[in-house]
Structure 1
């Protein structure tokens, strides 16, 4: 069966593609590579005019004429290849705005995909109108909007998330929801806001290709290595300030017992290599469930500080700290959790093994591909 996956976040569609291919399907992935992460695609649309002098021209043209030349370039690249994007039985968008275009151009792309293929589905796995609205209305106990509400980040800096509440993005949301045959969520952070929607088809956990992520028994050494990867653009949204404050306290108390590795804005292939020697990975604070980076680290047997709220534990029938550590926006709490692992390193070994087993049981890429096919075929 011919399947088209449109857009990429954190390697999700690549892993799904690999699972579908293992099941004998013909899969094409088109994306922009997810910015600096540079994920592979069968057809890579290149973002232009996002740096240097060309970016200044882009900003000027937008101010004067309302034209986003990056969006126009990406749209033109897509339509130059339009024959390639026709004749698929299933098409899945990774987001309401899968290429990050201005809404009017995104509508053109999605209209073409709807008209020239059999079934069209939407994946909710990143900021979109429903999840942003739910968080903005403070329906979560905490969310990526918490730093914004606390004044840590300006409206301008938070525009990549806030834009989904603007009139043109709300209109895009309504347009996409009308066009698609159904919506799927990748984790509980997106499942919860969609619960009552008539087109919501349910949660399918992120597919993880465990064959590409070997389990690495935690190194036995005198020092416990803590890895902190930072995407500077999402610094406050991910709660990196809480992690850094907790790390400062940990380094002060356990300077002879730990080593801290911090990296910023590195491509995906480099990122996953840099944390291979680590025992503990600091992922994100403002989440109820794990995102993709956390899941891949767990597959490698790392002890990950990430989203693991009560809703997650109940959904998967787990105990607290069984497969990962729930990260909260509380410096003292994070310090205490790190301290406990440093003082009781045997817990690291237990969580490490549990984490790998959990990924194989609940996120295996072929099992998840089967779930996608079942849902797609039923709607």
Structure 2
């Protein structure tokens, strides 16, 4: 098949592309690189006017005329190359707003892709109307909106997620669902809100290219190294405040037994290198299932604090703490879990091996690519 993947989050589409190519498909990826993360793309649409004086000009123009010149620029770049985006057997969007531009411009691009290609599919693997509405209505026990409900973060700071509830994004959601042949979820945080939707085709786990991620067997060293990567824009949404408070408490008592590595807002290639020496990786608190960074770390044999709720354990037939640690919005709980691992490093070794085996069994990029191709062909 000839396949076009539109947009990129956390390297998901890159790994899927590699799996599909291993199966003999022809795959093209177009994206904006996902801001500072700089993910690879066959056709990179460059986001302009996002820093310095040009950003101030952009904000002023938007306030006065309602025109987003970054969005206009990205739409123009797409249509300047429009012939390259025709005649694919399958087009898959990473999100309802795959390029992160104004809904009216996303509609133009998605309409073009729908009219000029055989099939169009949508991934739910990040904030979108369905998942945001479900979480905002407090249907989860906790969610990315928990810090918002607790008053830790303002409505303005939460705009990147809350915008999906605005009328223009609801209209975009309805438009996309009308155009697509089906919707696929990447993990349980997106699967659960989609249950019962007539366009929903089911959950296909994130593809992880284990050939690019070497497993590092746990070595018993003098100190347990804990890695905490922070994306400052998502600080409260990821629960980084819980992690930081827990780490401070632990360092007061176990400074001779632990070392903490903290990094902020680094490109993807640098991020994965930074945590290579770590035994434990702190990923996120407000999730039921693992996101992409957690899965890649697990493939490397890291013991990851992330989403691993009972729904996840039941889905994959796992025991608690078997392949990763369920991170909860509870500092004392996080301290207790980390303390147990610091004092009993043999548990780190066991979870590390289990984590790698789990990724190879449930997330291998070629077997996941096969699942995608089967769903695309049958819908």
Residue of structure 1 in register with 2:361 after alignment: 361
The CA deviation string for residues 50-100 of structure 1, in whole angstroms up to 9 with x for no partner, is 111000000000000000000000000000110000010000000000000
Residue of structure 1 in register with 2:320 after alignment: 320
Residue of structure 1 in register with 2:229 after alignment: 229
Q: 2:88 matched to 1:95?
A: no
Separation in 2, partners of 1:358, 1:34: 27
Residue of structure 2 in register with 1:182 after alignment: 182
Residue of structure 2 in register with 1:265 after alignment: 265
Instruction: Show the 5 A alignment for 1:139-218.
Output: 139-218=139-218
Separation in 2, partners of 1:145, 1:328: 14
Separation in 2, partners of 1:117, 1:204: 23
Listed as ranges, the gaps of 5+ residues in structure 1 are: none
RMSD value over aligned CA atoms?
A: 0.4
Q: 2:318 matched to 1:294?
A: no
| Superposed displacement of residue 219, structure 1 | 2.8
Residue of structure 2 in register with 1:238 after alignment: 238
The CA deviation string for residues 314-337 of structure 1, in whole angstroms up to 9 with x for no partner, is 000000000000000000000000
| Superposed displacement of residue 218, structure 1 | 1.8
| TM-score for the superposition, normalised by structure 1 | 1.00
| TM-score for the superposition, normalised by structure 2 | 1.00
Q: 2:46 matched to 1:34?
A: no
Describe the SS at the equivalent of 1:304: strand
The CA deviation string for residues 225-256 of structure 1, in whole angstroms up to 9 with x for no partner, is 00000000000000000000000011011011
The 8 Å contact of residues 246 and 335 in structure 1, kept in 2 or not, is answered as: yes
Separation in 1, partners of 2:339, 2:192: 32
The 8 Å contact of residues 284 and 307 in structure 2, kept in 1 or not, is answered as: yes
The 8 Å contact of residues 219 and 277 in structure 1, kept in 2 or not, is answered as: no
Separation in 2, partners of 1:81, 1:289: 37
Separation in 2, partners of 1:135, 1:171: 19
Describe the SS at the equivalent of 1:211: helix
The CA deviation string for residues 170-228 of structure 1, in whole angstroms up to 9 with x for no partner, is 00000000000000000000000000100000000000000000101123211000000
Residue of structure 1 in register with 2:4 after alignment: 4
Separation in 1, partners of 2:205, 2:137: 25
The 8 Å contact of residues 220 and 345 in structure 2, kept in 1 or not, is answered as: no
Separation in 2, partners of 1:350, 1:219: 12
Report the number of matched residues: 379
Listed as ranges, the gaps of 5+ residues in structure 2 are: none
Separation in 2, partners of 1:133, 1:65: 29
Q: Which portions of structure 1, spanning 4 or more consecutive aligned residues, are displaced by more than 4 angstroms? A: none
Instruction: Show the 5 A alignment for 1:239-258.
Output: 239-258=239-258
Q: 2:364 matched to 1:370?
A: no
The 8 Å contact of residues 289 and 308 in structure 1, kept in 2 or not, is answered as: yes
Residue of structure 1 in register with 2:23 after alignment: 23
The 8 Å contact of residues 16 and 365 in structure 1, kept in 2 or not, is answered as: yes
| Superposed displacement of residue 275, structure 1 | 0.3
Separation in 2, partners of 1:237, 1:28: 32
Residue of structure 2 in register with 1:339 after alignment: 339
Q: 2:70 matched to 1:70?
A: yes
Describe the SS at the equivalent of 2:91: strand
The 8 Å contact of residues 288 and 311 in structure 1, kept in 2 or not, is answered as: yes
Describe the SS at the equivalent of 2:242: helix
Residue of structure 2 in register with 1:350 after alignment: 350
Separation in 2, partners of 1:91, 1:136: 30
Residue of structure 2 in register with 1:126 after alignment: 126
Separation in 2, partners of 1:315, 1:236: 28
Separation in 2, partners of 1:121, 1:58: 32
The CA deviation string for residues 285-314 of structure 1, in whole angstroms up to 9 with x for no partner, is 000000000000000000000000000000
| Superposed displacement of residue 123, structure 1 | 0.2
